[in-house]
Structure 1
Amino acid sequence: MMERAVGLSRRGFLHRIGAAGGYAAAYSAMVSLGLMATPAKAGPLQLPTNLGAGKSVVVLGGGIAGLTAAYELERAGFAVTLLEARDRLGGRNWTLRNGSKVEMVGEATQTVAFSDGLYMNAGPARIPSHHEGLLGYCDKLGVPLEVEINSSRSAYFWSAGSNGGKPIQMRQGVNDTRGYISELLAKALNKGALDQDLTAEDKQKLLPFLRAYGDLDQGMTFKGTERSGFAQLPGAASQFGKGRDPVPLKELLANEQLPSTLFEDVVYMQATMFQPVGGMDRIAAGFQRAIKSQLILNAEVLQIRQTAGGVAVAWRDRSGGPNQVAQADYAIVTIPLNILAKIDTNFDKPVKAAIAAVPYDYSNKIGFDAPRFWEKQQIFGGISFVGGDTGLVWYPSNGLHTQRGMLLACYGSGPNAKGFAARPLEEQIAIARGVVGRLHPGHEAEMSNPVVVNWSKIPFNLGPWPAWPGAAGQEGHLDDPAYRLLNEPHGRVYFSGAHLSQMPGWQEGAVLSAQRTLGQIATRVSQSVAERRGERPAA
């Protein structure tokens, strides 16, 4: 490749970008030029400390994406101003404690009255071990973590909305189902039904495995297994353990929540899971301690205007101060798209249309302060799946063996959540309490101090995550035209946030999106430096 008289080869150009902007800028430039694939996970971001010298960025939104951006930009030498409409940082990262206020559109304000030490993560409540970006920031920010017990084989699955059936303990559902399937497959093998698919050697190896996998007897029949729990516990002397009788296959198949036995196989839900000690908002607090730039709360964005030379953001002080304008060279907008659509902007029509076209999902949580009656049933953390409007019952992983805990009696999302959120709050509470009462009879009266969070009513969110085409709730394989458009810069404005990642409901999505945006800005600033020196890449 020949250099132009006033230019550089690509290699030379990338070298100059690396010199000005460090590895991250060079890497981002290579991605932009199609020379490298987009990274699959968040690695350590290392922007040089002088990259942003003389440059300014206004960050709109103080959720995890906005905080990640502000934290890294500050360390790269940019002048940073962050505007957050709420009186707290964190966005959906929101932990409720005794005295917290829950304001929802069209509802009376709730004041949380949990016992001392109890808390409810109203938004995200767990961190998968493969979310290395978020876990990395927890380490950097000094946020202590503990294990979140995401699954308990002592918990239940049960179709709460149906008239028939009874709760089935998870360990019994998992192992009885496995036993029956193993028996059926063994029968098919012995009858020659799979002779066209398996060699004689394959069959010889598979049958012993099925016997072990399903805990079948000598005749390859499933008659129950101690894996499913004990009808009689093993004890002293000659008190032998005796396994339960298996649940009939027909009864298992009739239970609408049978697929929940696969919950632990979902990669996002596999052990080990983590949670910050003391509540998820400890992450936002860690960012707040570390960031020295302006973090302006109660700053509701009213208008965004960009020109060839910069961005001006008009905002209202919700605490009673005068309206103000923040000006910067660039803006990173992490505001949820359904909220952004209502803000006065001079974005191009296709961008405005893309923002306005994205619907948002529904999600509800209801928590109670309660004595730990579930622990007397050997349920320590984990989830009972109940379906219906309330979705599940989630048991706390913290404070094990103490007197009281925060029991999440409802976590439902999607179509059912929309109708449920339309009910009066007292009715939502009564339904959630009733489901727990049928799952754990006699304990519903012990549950007190309920709090309801309908995310479709939470100001400055009005929904938990976007309902992108192709998304299955909190995860998806997103490739919508609006999604693609909003993932690219619009002049000096960059859109960022979990909603522009493949994990719209996870904090890792916010981290990944923010880091991608920072790489784009680093490339742009580095290119600007190179161009001022009369350098540009060869074609």
Structure 2
Amino acid sequence: MSSQTTITKTIADLLSLVENKYGVGVGLELLRQLGGHNIVSDKGEPPDIPSISNGNHPQVVIVGAGIAGLVLALELKERGAKVILLEASSRCGGRNLTIRPGELIQEESFPAQKCNLPSGQYFNAGPGRISHHHRAVLHYCRRFGLSLRPYFTLNRGALLHRWLPQTNQDIFVKNRQVLFDGLGRLSELAFKGSTSLNLQESLPHDLALALNDWLQTFGGVDEKGNYQEDGKNGYQLIRGGRHDKGKSCPALELEQILGLRLWYDDPRRSSDVIDEQLTMFEIEGGNDGLVSALESALGDCIRLNHGVEEIVQDEGGVTLKGSLTNDSGQTFQLKCDRIVITAQPPVLKNMRIDVRDAWLEAFQALPPRFAVKVAGWMKRRFWEEDLGIYGGITFTNLPIQQIWYPNNGFLEQNGGLLVLAYSALEYGEALGKIAPDIRCLAVQELASRIHPQIKSESSHLMTIAWQNIPYIYSPWMAWTPEKYNQYFHQITRCDRRIAFAGDWCSHLPAWQEGAIRSAYDLIEWALYGKE
């Protein structure tokens, strides 16, 4: 080895050498190749699979007209397949549901609720937002000309609420206080121990200085490593004219943040989760605009009120039997070349499906999940007028878990729709067992601990528990690591002439993106029998 040759110790050294010799552009390209600055090349479009050209147009039946079924039916139809899309309920969309004035929410075993929102208003009972990197959803929004508006998942001015049951106290802090005071307190610890942060070896002096500079910039500590609140965490006294300098909110102590678990708003839906990082969107006029567009494009391919009960396959094709769900008592039978089932496992358990035991075992092993939303029309936008909260989410340890503020109609004088609860897991299960009218009142009482104005400003409440909705029975399926390793790669394969699709057959469960991507996976198989 030449004496001129040096071996770089770190990637940073290598990048520095490349940039010095060949320029920053080459250095950035090397960084991309090493996995940094990943460039998104996927546009969300369906795979480039050719249309049928030999005249052999396969007959494909799709069971379930949710997003996965609608998208798959459209892509197959446009490529020459003969498609029939069966839906057991009286509408398309599945869990994509927007409720408008005069419409009903019907939970199984409970009285129907009628939506009495003001004219032109609506409640997104299903999907509430679309991520900026859910590019397949955005592809169809673009294709159908659906207008989007921003959805503010993150609002640093929204609240974090803690109810202390031992003393029946309510603790309120702003989201920004936990973030910036928390960063500040952690930065204090890191600054004062910066030379020994690396457990394997101490940081070199120059990197320790760089770390301290970083902590001062992002953590708000001074040159001695003490956190200095500078207004990022909010103002106790607002800034104004020449005499109103303002006063920052007192900084939270680390013991307060840790003792009250203030960071623990909801780790499954916090704004730092990749699928909820800004920018988020919602469809103007209601998120079911995507359903309406797909439904219009499919036309008479769709057959509503068709409940499938039995599916049998052999070398000659697939036969399915069922009955109409509109109380007519009529039965039906269809034959096809291939079938795709997009219903979730809680529904599949009640169908007789001719697949191997591994599939049937998985359907029984995957438990349903629980999710409840309660929404209310408020006569006054008190969250804006009284608290300066414009959009976003407040988190709480009460069973309601989240309060969603509307992302439209800012400053309007005729009120707005507030989501008083979005409860999942055990809270969603418990609330779902209560009759809708009592559930609404219970949630109103709980939410009033955070916003007392709710009691006097509510004019109409409505709720949905997705585990109670016929032909759905679960808001989503959550794969545990054990169940994933045991079943996922098995049941997402085709079993001869039968296949399954839906968000639960993807790595984006509970998202429309997952439903569409799972549909994409089956286009070639449905057309040509190639998996």
Match of 1:73 in 2: 76
Deviation at 1:325, TM superposition (A): 1.4
Counterpart CA distance in 2 for 1:497 and 1:245 is: 48
The answer to which of 277-286 and 391-400 deviates more is 391-400
Match of 2:459 in 1: 448
Pick one of 421, 424, 430 that aligns with 1:410: 421
Match of 2:86 in 1: 83
Counterpart CA distance in 2 for 1:184 and 1:351 is: 51
The answer to which of 159-168 and 56-65 deviates more is 159-168
Match of 1:396 in 2: 406
CA-based RMSD of the aligned residues comes to: 2.4
1:25-104, aligned counterparts within 5 Å? 42-50=44-52, 53-104=56-107
Counterpart CA distance in 1 for 2:200 and 2:493 is: 53
1:265 partner amino acid: D
The answer to which of 412-421 and 361-370 deviates more is 412-421
1:328/1:257 CA distance change after superposition, 3 Å: farther
Counterpart CA distance in 2 for 1:225 and 1:165 is: 26
Deviation at 1:101, TM superposition (A): 0.9
Per-residue CA deviations over 1:235-288 (Å, capped at 9, x if unaligned) read 223422321221233222222342339832211111110111111111000101
1:509/1:232 CA distance change after superposition, 3 Å: same
Does 2:283 align with 1:281?
no
1:457/1:69 CA distance change after superposition, 3 Å: same
Per-residue CA deviations over 1:114-152 (Å, capped at 9, x if unaligned) read 122222111111111111111101111222211111111
Per-residue CA deviations over 1:369-402 (Å, capped at 9, x if unaligned) read 1121111222111000012321110111122222
Match of 1:219 in 2: 224
Pick one of 136, 144, 148 that aligns with 1:145: 148
Pick one of 430, 440, 463 that aligns with 1:429: 440
Does 2:322 align with 1:315?
yes
Match of 2:369 in 1: 361
1:120-269, aligned counterparts within 5 Å? 120-160=123-163, 162=165, 163-189=168-194, 196-260=201-265, 263-269=270-276
2:374 partner amino acid: I
Match of 1:338 in 2: 346
Q: Tell me the TM-score normalized by structure 1.
A: 0.84
Structure with more relative contact order (C-alpha pairs < 8 Å, separation 6 or more): 1
Does 2:395 align with 1:385?
yes
Deviation at 1:113, TM superposition (A): 1.1
Counterpart CA distance in 1 for 2:106 and 2:266 is: 36
Question: Would you say the 8 A contact 1:188–1:194 is kept in 2?
Answer: no
Question: Would you say the 8 A contact 2:178–2:262 is kept in 1?
Answer: no
Per-residue CA deviations over 1:39-98 (Å, capped at 9, x if unaligned) read 988443333333574211011000000001100000000111100011111100011111
Deviation at 1:154, TM superposition (A): 1.0
Counterpart CA distance in 2 for 1:192 and 1:120 is: 49
Deviation at 1:218, TM superposition (A): 4.4
Per-residue CA deviations over 1:149-206 (Å, capped at 9, x if unaligned) read 1111110111236434511111112111111111122222389998943111111111
The answer to which of 443-452 and 356-365 deviates more is 443-452
Question: Would you say the 8 A contact 2:318–2:335 is kept in 1?
Answer: yes
Match of 1:419 in 2: 430
Counterpart CA distance in 2 for 1:194 and 1:464 is: 43
Counterpart CA distance in 1 for 2:200 and 2:345 is: 55
Pick one of 365, 375, 381 that aligns with 1:372: 381
Match of 2:277 in 1: 270
Q: Tell me the TM-score normalized by structure 2.
A: 0.85
Counterpart CA distance in 1 for 2:126 and 2:470 is: 14
1:469-484, aligned counterparts within 5 Å? 469-470=480-481, 479-484=484-489
1:261/1:323 CA distance change after superposition, 3 Å: closer
Counterpart CA distance in 2 for 1:359 and 1:327 is: 31
Counterpart secondary structure, 1:108: coil
Match of 1:7 in 2: none
Match of 1:533 in 2: none
Counterpart secondary structure, 2:494: coil
Counterpart CA distance in 1 for 2:163 and 2:136 is: 37
Deviation at 1:359, TM superposition (A): 1.1
Match of 1:327 in 2: 335
- The percentage of aligned residue pairs carrying the same residue is 28
1:183 partner amino acid: E
Deviation at 1:305, TM superposition (A): 1.8
1:459/1:195 CA distance change after superposition, 3 Å: closer
Structure 1: tracts of 5 or more residues without a match: 1-38, 472-477, 528-539
Counterpart CA distance in 1 for 2:506 and 2:196 is: 49
1:511/1:191 CA distance change after superposition, 3 Å: closer
1:210 partner amino acid: L
Counterpart CA distance in 1 for 2:109 and 2:408 is: 33
Counterpart CA distance in 1 for 2:200 and 2:213 is: 17
Question: Would you say the 8 A contact 1:228–1:243 is kept in 2?
Answer: yes
Paired residues, what number? 482
